[in-house]
A and B are shown apart, each in its own frame.
Chain A
Amino acid sequence: MQAAGGLDFRQAPPFFVPLRFFLTAPVFLFLAGLLLFTPGAASWQRWSPAILAAVHLVTLGFLAMVMMGAFLQLLAVVAGAPVARPRLLAGLVYGPLTLGTLSLAGGFWLSDRWLFYPALTLLAAALATFALAAAASLRGAARNATVFAMAAAIFALAVTLALGLALGATRAGWLELANFVALVDLHATWGLLGWVFVLVAGVAYQVVPMFQLTPAYPRRLTRYLVPLFMVGLLDLPWAQEARSAWPGDAVALFLAACLLVFALATLYLQHRRRRRVADVTLDYWRVGMACLVGAALLGPSGAQRFPALLGILFLYGFAVSVVSGMLYKILPFLAWFHLQSHTQAPAGTIPNMKSFLPEVRARRQFAVHVATLGLLLLSTLPGGPWRYAAAAGVCLSALRLTANLWGVWRLFRAQGGRSG
């Protein structure tokens, strides 16, 4: 059971279920940074093998990895509908997702069609298993705006996967698609807007007021934003097929307006928070929302004219920032909570949550992340040495994030916590 507006940890999965996803994800971000050093990434060409590989390392290896781990936690504590066998499901998803993402990135980067065989098979197995299990659990879930967004995000993930499989099969030479570029756009739109944005919005309804001590999101926003956004997403391909351009432009503008409304509402709520203490997660979210505002103002026309700028703003500026910020909040919280539950320790005998991840270390990593974001944006300008500095920044930021998250786990273990 779960009451509106709260979290219920009675059915929370074992710590290791989300943990393995959270600890692995930053490694993929590091690999994406390495790819940015290669000559193939020089001009930020959307179709260059290195960029395609880096983008999928970020979207599947970092974002989906964290979001899927968090989703298993959310199903239990927000939706009141845990998956039946969380350890088994996590095992079935984690391995294929990890290996599938590496194979796909390798396939893109080396332009090796044979690597698409394992990539597509493994990713289909991981994502379809996850989506089916999550959808089955959500059928028995509590009804609230976050749960609706979670269901919508799972639908979007399934659409993204189906399109991705068709596109991958085309790339591997098993299939011929006449409208390949349009389907790539659709794949990216459903993945970034449907899966990433919708899930972030739904989760924000819970975690922003709870962890950042802001007022609640307006009821009208939580009730209508995601449903209307999904209607827009579903309409987009048909609107773009119309004889004149305006229906497609209108729907795209509507989607951008939804992003803008969410980002501005979040920034406003954060401005009205109850306690004005420094918090790195809050700062990560502010950067994320500012970049979402930028992406919304730039697109949809920006998608054609400045695809690299739009991609960096949305992927690294918005999605990576928000997910990193959440990792800094969720992982120490779960470590503290599970340690408290396992050991039934008297107060004062286990570390408090803040000592699992000292703010100063998180803040140093945040500074590197923000500097890297600036360098990435600069690197879209022609010429200049910015790309190498940006690539080094992505790698350094990912390494620091990895070290910080693994530090939480080490302390958990040192205190006698069992993650299994």
Chain B
Amino acid sequence: MSTDLVVDARWLPPPEPMERVLQALEMRGRGQRVHLLIHREPYPLYELLNARGMEWRSRTLADGCYEVLIGGEAGDV
């Protein structure tokens, strides 16, 4: 598997985190996942990813930020 594309969107005002994630999703190579770091839980992004049929998984980090791993196809994440 290729290296994840990392988007560090911590402490960026909305909707910059979403803009950057969408850009990364367009740019990534085949099989490459997007690894998002963000300071708030990105509910609107989940909605958008679901609407596009993308797989994602999120978890809370020790510092209160969130890590969202986004893959392109089922089973990727």
Q: Cβ of B48 and Cβ of A348 under 8 Å apart?
A: no
Name the residue of chain A whose CB is nearest to the CB of B18: A340
Asked if A211 is at the interface (CB within 8 A of a chain B CB), the reply is yes
Asked if B3 is at the interface (CB within 8 A of a chain A CB), the reply is no
Name the residue of chain B whose CB is nearest to the CB of A332: B15
Q: Cβ of B41 and Cβ of A9 under 8 Å apart?
A: no
Q: A9-B47, A348-B23 are in contact. Are A3 and B15 (CB under 8 A)?
A: no
SS class, residues of chain A in contact with chain B: loop
Distance A333 CA – B42 CA, assembled complex (angstroms): 15
**Partner of A6 from B13, B19, B25, B43 at Cβ < 8 Å:** B43
- Residue-wise interface mask of B (12-45) relative to A, using a CB-CB cutoff of 8 A (1 in contact, 0 not): 1111101100110110000000000001111110
Asked if B51 is at the interface (CB within 8 A of a chain A CB), the reply is yes
Q: Cβ of A347 and Cβ of B23 under 8 Å apart?
A: yes
- Residue-wise interface mask of A (346-369) relative to B, using a CB-CB cutoff of 8 A (1 in contact, 0 not): 111000110000000000000000
For A337, the chain B residues whose CB sits under 8 A away are 15, 44
Nearest-neighbour CB distance to chain A for B61, whole angstroms, equals: 15
For A211, the chain B residues whose CB sits under 8 A away are 13-14
Q: Cβ of B52 and Cβ of A7 under 8 Å apart?
A: no
Q: Cβ of A353 and Cβ of B41 under 8 Å apart?
A: no
Distance A347 CA – B5 CA, assembled complex (angstroms): 15
Q: A210-B14, A341-B51 are in contact. Are A347 and B26 (CB under 8 A)?
A: yes
Q: Cβ of B44 and Cβ of A346 under 8 Å apart?
A: no
Distance A8 CA – B46 CA, assembled complex (angstroms): 9
- Residue-wise interface mask of A (368-412) relative to B, using a CB-CB cutoff of 8 A (1 in contact, 0 not): 000000000000000000000000000000000000000000000
Name the residue of chain A whose CB is nearest to the CB of B24: A347
Asked if A213 is at the interface (CB within 8 A of a chain B CB), the reply is yes
Name the residue of chain A whose CB is nearest to the CB of B10: A274
SS class, residues of chain B in contact with chain A: helix
Q: A210-B40, A348-B23 are in contact. Are A340 and B48 (CB under 8 A)?
A: yes
Asked if A262 is at the interface (CB within 8 A of a chain B CB), the reply is no
Nearest-neighbour CB distance to chain B for A42, whole angstroms, equals: 44
For A353, the chain B residues whose CB sits under 8 A away are 15-16, 19
**Partner of A344 from B26, B47, B51 at Cβ < 8 Å:** B51
Asked if A10 is at the interface (CB within 8 A of a chain B CB), the reply is yes
Asked if A336 is at the interface (CB within 8 A of a chain B CB), the reply is yes
Distance A70 CA – B7 CA, assembled complex (angstroms): 31
Q: Cβ of B11 and Cβ of A274 under 8 Å apart?
A: yes
Q: A10-B47, A341-B48 are in contact. Are A347 and B14 (CB under 8 A)?
A: no
Name the residue of chain A whose CB is nearest to the CB of B47: A10
Q: A5-B41, A348-B26 are in contact. Are A213 and B15 (CB under 8 A)?
A: no
- Residue-wise interface mask of A (181-222) relative to B, using a CB-CB cutoff of 8 A (1 in contact, 0 not): 000000000000000000000000000001111000000000
Q: A346-B26, A348-B23, A352-B19 are in contact. Are A7 and B43 (CB under 8 A)?
A: yes
Q: Cβ of A333 and Cβ of B43 under 8 Å apart?
A: no
Distance A333 CA – B44 CA, assembled complex (angstroms): 12
Nearest-neighbour CB distance to chain B for A285, whole angstroms, equals: 13
Distance A341 CA – B52 CA, assembled complex (angstroms): 10
Distance A333 CA – B16 CA, assembled complex (angstroms): 10
Distance A333 CA – B14 CA, assembled complex (angstroms): 8
Most A CB contacts (10 A, CB to CB) among B16, B22, B25 go to B22
Distance A152 CA – B56 CA, assembled complex (angstroms): 38
Distance A362 CA – B46 CA, assembled complex (angstroms): 31
Q: Cβ of A9 and Cβ of B25 under 8 Å apart?
A: no
Nearest-neighbour CB distance to chain B for A409, whole angstroms, equals: 18
Q: A274-B11, A347-B19, A352-B19 are in contact. Are A7 and B51 (CB under 8 A)?
A: no
For B14, the chain A residues whose CB sits under 8 A away are 210-211, 333
Pairs across A and B, CB under 8 Å, 15 listed? A2-B43, A3-B41, A5-B40, A7-B43, A9-B43, A213-B13, A340-B18, A340-B22, A341-B48, A341-B51, A344-B52, A346-B22, A347-B19, A353-B16, A353-B19
Can you add 7 more A-B contacts, CB < 8 Å, to A10-B47, A347-B23?
A: A3-B41, A7-B44, A8-B47, A10-B43, A210-B40, A275-B13, A353-B16
Binding site for B on A (CB under 8 A): 2-3, 5-10, 210-213, 274-275, 279, 333, 336-337, 340-341, 344, 346-348, 352-353
